[in-house]
Amino acid sequence: MSRKVSEKLTSAGQSLWLGHLSRQSIRNGVLRRAIEEWPVTGVAFSPQAVHHALSETDVYDSTIALKLSRGLYGEALAYSEIIDDVQDAANLLRPLYKKTNGADGWVVMPVSPLSTNDNRLLVSEYTQIDRLVNRPNTLLCLPVTPDRLALIEELVCAGVTTIISNVYSDRQYIAAAKACLAGIERCLEGGIKPNPSLFVAIDINRIASMLPHHFDGEQSAEHTISLVRMIYHAMRDLSTSQEWKLAISAGVRPPRIVWTSFGAEGSIKIESSVYGGLIAADTVLALPYEMIARFNTQPMDEASMSLAGGVGDQVLTDSFHTGLDVAREADRLQGENLAWLSKEWAILLENFARKCAGVSSVGLKLSFDNKALKTF
C-alpha cells in the first residue's frame, strides 16, 4: 500500500492492521518496517498463518525442541508458541498503544473454539490465557454464536479484552454490542471502571458469499458494500443512542468495527473496489500483507470510498428481489464458520504434533485436554 493510501485511511479516522501475521514477519523485520513505514497500527495472528509457518519453515523448530525437553506438549505447547509470538508483536506495538491511549497498537490472538460449550469454563479459560499473555494490548479472538452472547458479558465483567468475531449482519452486531453493554453496566454498578476497548471483526469475504453467484464483479461489490454499510450504521446509531449514554460518559463506546478478510477467491478489481468502499471513521481495515502489497500497484477505487452515506436502499431492495434473506444467511454463516474455525484449529494442533515428532526422536501424541493449559 502506498503511503498516500495509508495517509488517506488515517485522515479518514481509520486504522490499518496487518492480518495473518506469522513468526517470520516478526523475526525478519517485516512487522517493524510495516509499523514504521505504512504505518500499520495493529496486527492479527491466524491459525492459517501459523500452520503455514509450521509446514513450510523451521522457524518454530528450536523453541519446540526446547519445550519438548521440558515436558511441554500437546495444546499447551501450541498455545505457548503462539503466546511467544503474540508477546513479541505486542512489545513492538506497545509504544503506539500507550501513545494512542489504547486506540491502536493491538495484537489479535486466536483461541481454540474446540474446548467447551460451557460458558463458565470458557470464562476461566479466556481469563487464564489473558494472564499468561500478560500484555495489555492483546485481543483474544471470540467467535460469537447466540449461546455465547452471555460469555461476552462475563468477559467484559472480568476485564478480559476480546475481539468478537463471527458477525455478519447489523442484527448480529447489535446483539453482540448489547452483550458488551450489559457487562459494562455491571461494572459500573459495582464501582469498577470498565475496559474502554471493544472490537467486532467483520469478515467481508464471507459476507460477500451470501450473494447470488450470478452477480458480476461490479454487482457483487455494490451489494457487499451495502450489506456492510448496514453494520456500520448500526455502530453509528448506537454511538448516539440513549441506551449507550451512560457507557459513553464512562469512556466506553460501542464496539469498533474491524473489517477483515480471510483471502477468499475474487479478482483484484472486486477486492479493491470493496475495500475502497470500507474507509470510514472509527473503524479498522485489517488485511494480509499480500493484499496490502497489491494496493501498491493497483490503488483502491477512490470513487466508492464512503460508508458514511445512505444505507443503499436500492441496492438492498435489489438483493431482496433476488431472494436474499440477510438474517437467515447471517445465521447460516455463524454456524458454518464456527465449524470451519474448529476444523482449522484441529489442523493446527495436528501440524504441531507432526512438527514435534519431526524435531524429537520420540513421536508425541497430541493432547486436546484443556488441563494441558495448566502445565505452562
> For 349-368, what is each residue's pLDDT tens digit?
999 999 999 887 544 444 44
What would the mean pLDDT of 77-90 be, rounded to a whole number?
97
Q: What is the pLDDT of residues 255-283, one digit of tens each?
A: 999 999 754 433 334 456 677 788 889 99
Quote the pLDDT of residue 222: 80
- Does residue 22 carry a pLDDT above 60? yes
176-181 contacts at long range (C-beta below 8 A, 24 or more positions apart): 176/144, 176/149, 176/152, 176/200, 176/255, 177/234, 177/235, 177/238, 177/254, 177/255, 178/149, 179/149, 179/150, 179/152, 179/153, 180/152, 180/153, 180/156, 180/254, 180/255, 181/243, 181/244, 181/247, 181/254
Q: Kind of pairing, strands 256-260 and 283-288?
A: parallel
For the chain, give the percent of residues with pLDDT over 70. 81
Res 304: pLDDT: 45
Between residues 374 and 182, which one has the greater pLDDT?
A: 182
pLDDT at 368: 41
Range from 15-29, 172-186, 230-244, 295-309 carrying the lowest mean pLDDT: 295-309
pLDDT category of residue 322 using cuts at 50, 70 and 90: low
Q: How confident is the model at residue 302 (pLDDT cuts 50, 70, 90)?
A: low
Distance from C-alpha of 19 to C-alpha of 292, rounded to nearest angstrom: 10
Average pLDDT over residues 129-152: 96
Query: Out of 118-122, 165-169, 350-354, which region has the weakest mean confidence (pLDDT)?
Result: 118-122
- Would you kindly state where each structural domain of the chain is located, as residue ranges? 3-363
pTM, entire model: 0.89
Q: What CA–CA distances, in Å, run from 66 to 30, 71, 72, 130?
A: 26, 9, 9, 23
> Which pLDDT score is estimated for 309?
58
Question: Mean pLDDT lowest for which of 86-90, 202-206, 301-305?
Answer: 301-305
Please give the CATH number for the structural domain made up of 3-363: 3.20.20.70
pLDDT at 242: 94
When the pLDDT of each residue in the chain is averaged and rounded to a whole number, the result is 84
pLDDT of residue 41: 94
Lowest mean pLDDT across 43-47, 109-113, 135-139, 301-305: 301-305
Read off the pLDDT band of 216 (50, 70, 90). Answer: low
Using one digit for the tens of pLDDT, what is the confidence trace for 237-259? 999 999 999 999 999 999 999 99
Q: How confident is the model at residue 11 (pLDDT cuts 50, 70, 90)?
A: confident
Contact 353, 365 (CB under 8 A): yes
The set of cell numbers assigned to 198 is 471493544
Whole-number pLDDT of residue 272 = 64
- Looking at residue 266, what is its pLDDT? 37
